[in-house]
Structure 1
Amino acid sequence: MGKVRKKKNTFNYSVNRKKLKRRARKKDAPRIACDEIRKAWDDTKSVASNMAEMGLAVDPNKVLPIHADTSTSTGPKYVRKPYVIEDLKASASVPSKKTMGISSDMVLYVRHMVENYGEDYKAMARDDQNYYQDTPKQIQRKINLYRRHHPSEYEALLKSRTKQ
C-alpha cells in the first residue's frame, strides 16, 4: 500500500481577512424588519445607544418598573432622532388591511347553520352537516367569527331567516 499524502496548509495572501470578517459580521447581523428603525440605525453604535437616540426603550422593565415606589428613570434625556417615533406613530395609525381570512368551507357551513336554525346552537350541534361534531359553544364561536368579518352578510342571513 502506498502512503497517504496530506495537503500542506498554505496561506492565501490574496485574500483580505479583515474584509472577510467585516462581511461575515454584517451578514450575521440581525435583520431589522421595521423600515423606520432600519433607516435610522447606525451600525457603528450599540443597540442600547441606537435605541436611546431614537427615543425607544431597550428594556421595558427599566422604563416602566413594576414597583410604583421607584420613580427614578435611567437613560439619556436627549432624543437625537425624534422623527423615528413620529414615523412609527404615523405607520401605527394607518388601519391594517390584513385580516384573518375565513375558509370558504366555513363560510358555507355558517351560512347553512344560520339559514336553517337562526341562533339555536343546540339544534345546530345536532345537524347532519356538523361533520366535525362541534359543540354548541364551538359553533357559536365560528358564527361570531363570521359575524365579525362579514357583518352585513350575517344581518342579511338573519333577516332572510325571519321572513321565512
Structure 2
Amino acid sequence: MPKAKKKNRRKKYNYNVDRKKLNRAFRKRQAPRIKCSQIRHAWDRTKSVSQNLAEMGLAADPNKAVPIPKFMQPVMKMDIDGPEKKSKIVQKPYVLNELEYQASLPEKQSQTLSRDLIDYVQHMIQNHGENYKAMARDEKNYYQDTPKQIKSKINVYKRIYPEEYQAFCTSLQQEKMDKQ
C-alpha cells in the first residue's frame, strides 16, 4: 500500500499563528459557557464541578442527592456507632435563593398561531358558524382538513386568543344585526 504524501515530512513551526489566541480559544471550548447567570457569576474556575455545585447547595449527581431506597435490605441492620454523615454547609446560598425566586415567577405564554391560520379560522367561522362539515367542503380548505381537524384548530384559536375570539364573535353578531 502506498503511503500518503507529506506524512513523513518534518513538521515546521508556523510563525503566522498566534499561540496565545489558540490557547485562549482552546480553553474556551474546553470550559463551555454556563447559560444560567446565577451559577455563572458564582462559579470558581479553580474548583471542580462537584465542589462548585456543593458550595451553591446544588447536587452534581441526583442519584447520590436523592437515593432510591432498596427494599431488599435486611431489616436487622443497625448502624448505631457508625460514622455520622457530614452535613454540607452551603457557602453561597444566594444562588439557590435566586434560582428558587426565578422558578416561582409565573411563566409567560409563548404559544402563538400564524397569521394564515388565524385568517383561515376566522373565515371558516364567519362563513359557516359551527357547521364543521360545511367547513370541510369549503374551497378555502386547501389542506383538505376533516371536520374534526377544523374543530381542533378552532379550539386552539379559542384557547390561545380568547379576547380576540370574543371580539370577533361580537363583530359577527353586529354584522348580522346590521344586515337584518
Same fold, judged at TM 0.5 (above): yes
Question: Residue 138 of structure 2 corresponds to which residue in structure 1?
Answer: 127
Paired residue type of 1:86: N
Correspondence for 2:64 among 62, 78, 83: 62
1:75-123 Cα offsets, whole Å, 9 max, x none, are 9632211111111122233344561332111110111122233333333
- Alignment of 1:37 with 2:48, yes or no, is no
Counterparts in 2 of 1:82-121, with a 5 A limit? 82-97=93-108, 99-121=110-132
Q: Please tell me the root mean square deviation across aligned C-alpha atoms, in Å.
A: 3.7
Which letter does structure 1 place at the counterpart of 2:38? Answer: E
Residue 77, structure 1, aligned to residue 79, structure 2: no
Aligned length: 155
**Aligned equivalents of 2:86 and 2:28: distance in 1?**
27
Determine which of 15, 26, 30 is the counterpart of 2:28: 26
Output the amino acid matched with 1:46.
S
Tell me, yes or no, if structure 1 residue 157 matches structure 2 residue 168: yes
Q: Secondary structure at the match of 2:159?
A: helix
Distance 1:138 1:110 in 2: 11
Q: TM-score, normalised by structure 2?
A: 0.65
Identity %, equivalent residues: 54
Give the letter for the 1:128 counterpart.
Answer: E
Structure 1 gap ranges (5+): none
Q: Secondary structure at the match of 1:131?
A: coil
- AA aligned opposite 2:155: N
Larger radius of gyration: 2
Amino acid across the alignment from 2:97: E
